[in-house]
């Protein structure tokens, strides 16, 4: 069961990246600000803040700005203002852009390998126990 979950999570990550990028052009943007998650403002929980990066990018000499729809939680992994990040924009509508946080393909690969090993092990033990 755990193996199936690992395989599912890995597939979900790769599938979502493919859906986000399909038909979009890659560009570079700069994090110009951080927008706190609405619950941070309502509850004043400043020790557990979640932030969405506000990103500015330029296409054909014109600047655009958007707030990413992914919130990042934690003091140590909060995006840094001034950092350049990859963005993907719609070539027909330059205002339509997506922030694609880097995917750690090694971690996704490990999810697949561990998941496959766990599934294989479970199936092996299931058939082995039925032979008795």
Q: If DSSP states are collapsed to H, E and C, what string results for 23-48?
A: CCEEEEEEEEEEEECHHHHHHCCCCC
Q: Compute CA distances 39 → 8, 10, 44, 55, whole Å.
A: 29, 29, 8, 21
Q: What is the pLDDT of residues 72-106, one digit of tens each?
A: 765 555 678 898 988 889 999 999 988 876 666 67
Number of C-beta neighbours around residue 94 at 10 A: 17
| Boundaries of every domain in the chain | 2-126
- Give CA angle at 94 (21, 88), nearest 5°: 25
Q: What is the pLDDT of residues 6-18, one digit of tens each?
A: 667 777 766 665 5
The structure's pTM equals 0.60
What's the CA gap between 127 and 43, in Å, rounded? Answer: 53
């Amino acid at each position: 069961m755990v193996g199936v979950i690992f395989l599912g999570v890995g597939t979900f990550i790769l599938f979502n990246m493919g859906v986000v990028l399909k038909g979009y052009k890659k560009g570079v943007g700069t994090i110009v600000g951080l927008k706190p998650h609405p619950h941070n403002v309502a509850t004043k929980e400043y020790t557990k803040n979640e932030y969405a990066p506000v990103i500015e990018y330029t296409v054909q000499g014109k600047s655009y700005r958007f707030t990413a729809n992914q919130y990042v939680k934690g003091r140590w992994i909060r995006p840094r203002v001034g950092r350049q990040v990859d963005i993907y924009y719609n070539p027909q509508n330059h205002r339509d852009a997506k922030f694609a946080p880097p995917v750690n393909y090694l971690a996704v690969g490990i999810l697949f390998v561990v998941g496959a090993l766990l599934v294989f092990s479970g199936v092996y033990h299931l058939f082995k126990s039925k032979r008795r």
